[in-house]
Amino acid sequence: MHIDQEIKLDFADVLIRPKRSALPSRAEVDIRREFVFKHSQRRYRGIPIIAANMDTIGTFEMALALAPFELSVALHKHYREDELVRFFSSLEVKSSAFYSMGITKPDHEKFERVASGTGEAIEYVCIDVANGYTESFVKFVEKFREAYPKLTIMAGNVVTGEMTEEMILSGVDIVKVGIGPGSVCTTRSMTGVGYPQLSAVIECADAAHGLGGLICADGGCTAPGDLAKAFGGGADFVMLGGMLAGHAECSGDVIEKHGKQYKRFYGMSSRAAMEKYAGGIAQYRAAEGRETLVEYRGPVAATVQEILGGVRSACTYVGARKLKELTKRTTFVRVSGRANDSFDESG
Ligand code: 5GP
């Protein structure tokens, strides 16, 4: 047994210290980023925020709504092949959408069929497993990269520098970082496993950037300021689930309860998701996600404006004219107690 004595931080453990700035207004701030991916060598330009590949969030409707803002969506993996082929072959937004998949043989075969049905239309793939520390995951990613040299591959999840390096050396362009911080995730309480998300982001970004790779901070953002902290900590992309939940573009019906309107939101390893897609929870495992009702918030556009406004404002406070400069200009101050005005304790 070993105890790591170094303090590890979550978003709520810090604030960003303001700095002198010559920026007259937040309208001057450009929060777009441009990247050339290490392996695919494809060029990216957009606002590096990705809707999570959860079946309530990563929907076609969300992709259509976020595209005008230059945000991306990781489509959930439960769409049928014909639906995916139609989406990727016909829409302009396809270029900012990730095809998501697991690492089983059927996952791979489904991808091959959809990819061949869409020509070269799929540019981005998200290979997603709860635990990115298994040998089978690394082997799968290596083989997948060999088979598809031109795809931009995002894969995870991991939380440490050495595994981030291994992922990048195995062919991953964007390493997805986060184990346990999700708003409907119960991994920390069910297994005792996890890593405070801001520290994971800082350490994995450092490791990735050293090799010319990128990271996506996945999970734990509860307010726009958390995105600013993730970008300030070195994240190249940020993935959002809970902050985009409850909108018109999310799957599921609006539920009326006690005179209020809600939408269901649940983790992809929750009982609700396993019952929907796997016919229940397998005997050898337990749910590592929970289900909740989120107040209905109408179209997602207003929420996106609020998020982008918050990130832009954070850049102004530290004098970053571009989002790219935010991390260089970020000094975190540790706070005692929780930094955000409100915090979802269930995370
Ligand atoms: P949020 O933005 O809601 O805090 O986090 C979203 C992320 O939570 C997702 O992108 C995914 O990585 C993670 N997640 C989604 N569902 C589950 C689940 O059921 N269990 C766990 N452990 N993580 C989940």
Mutate to test the pocket of ligand 1, among 10, 183, 268 (most ligand atoms within 8 A of CB): 268
- What would the pLDDT profile of 154-188 be if each residue is shown by its tens digit? 999 999 999 999 999 999 999 999 999 999 999 99
Confidence of residue 284 (pLDDT cuts 50, 70, 90): confident
For atom 13 of ligand 1, the residue with the nearest CA is: 182
pLDDT at 112 over 90: yes
Reduced 3-state DSSP string for the chain: CCCCCCCCCCHHHEEECCCCCCCCCHHHCECCEEEECCCCCCEEEECCEEECCCCCCCCHHHHHHHHHHCCEEECCCCCCHHHHHHHHHHCHHHHHEEEEECCCHHHHHHHHHHHHHCCCCCCEEEEECCCCCCHHHHHHHHHHHHHCCCCEEEEEEECCHHHHHHHHHCCCCEEEECCCCCCCECHHHHHCCCCCHHHHHHHHHHHHHHCCCEEEEECCCCCHHHHHHHHHCCCCEEEECHHHCCCCCCCCCCEEECCEEEEEEECCCEHHHHHHHHCCCCCCCCCCECEEEEECCCCCHHHHHHHHHHHHHHHHHHCCCEHHHHCCCCCEEECCCCCCCCCCCCC
Confidence at residue 91, expressed as pLDDT on a 0 to 100 scale: 65
Quote the pTM value. 0.96
Q: Which two tokens stand for residue 53?
A: 């590949």
pLDDT at 95 over 70: no
- What would the pLDDT profile of 6-52 be if each residue is shown by its tens digit? 999 999 999 999 999 888 777 889 999 999 999 999 999 999 999 99
| Least confident residue range of 32-46, 127-141, 276-290, 305-319 | 276-290
Pocket of ligand 1 (CB under 6 A): 52, 54, 130, 157, 178, 182-185, 187, 218-221, 239-243, 267-270, 288-289
Top-confidence residue, 93 or 117: 117
Confidence at residue 226, expressed as pLDDT on a 0 to 100 scale: 98
pLDDT at 277 over 80: yes
Instruction: Please indicate whether residue 221 is annotated as part of the active site.
Output: no
pLDDT at 279 over 90: no
> Could you tell me the distance, in angstroms and rounded to a whole number, from the CA of residue 220 to the centre of ligand 1?
8
> Could you tell me the distance, in angstroms and rounded to a whole number, from the CA of residue 187 to the centre of ligand 1?
9
> Could you tell me the distance, in angstroms and rounded to a whole number, from the CA of residue 267 to the centre of ligand 1?
6
For atom 24 of ligand 1, the residue with the nearest CA is: 185
Confidence of residue 137 (pLDDT cuts 50, 70, 90): very high
| Least confident residue range of 65-69, 78-82, 88-92, 299-303 | 88-92
Over pLDDT 70: what percentage of the chain?
95
Confidence at residue 92, expressed as pLDDT on a 0 to 100 scale: 66
Average pLDDT of span 278-305: 91
Mutate to test the pocket of ligand 1, among 184, 189, 239 (most ligand atoms within 8 A of CB): 184
Confidence of residue 63 (pLDDT cuts 50, 70, 90): very high
Confidence at residue 285, expressed as pLDDT on a 0 to 100 scale: 77
Confidence of residue 100 (pLDDT cuts 50, 70, 90): very high
Confidence at residue 329, expressed as pLDDT on a 0 to 100 scale: 97
Atom of ligand 1 lying closest to residue 288 CA: 20
> Could you tell me the distance, in angstroms and rounded to a whole number, from the CA of residue 156 to the centre of ligand 1?
12
> Could you tell me the distance, in angstroms and rounded to a whole number, from the CA of residue 288 to the centre of ligand 1?
9
Confidence at residue 93, expressed as pLDDT on a 0 to 100 scale: 62
pLDDT at 319 over 50: yes
| Least confident residue range of 116-125, 213-222, 234-243, 325-334 | 116-125
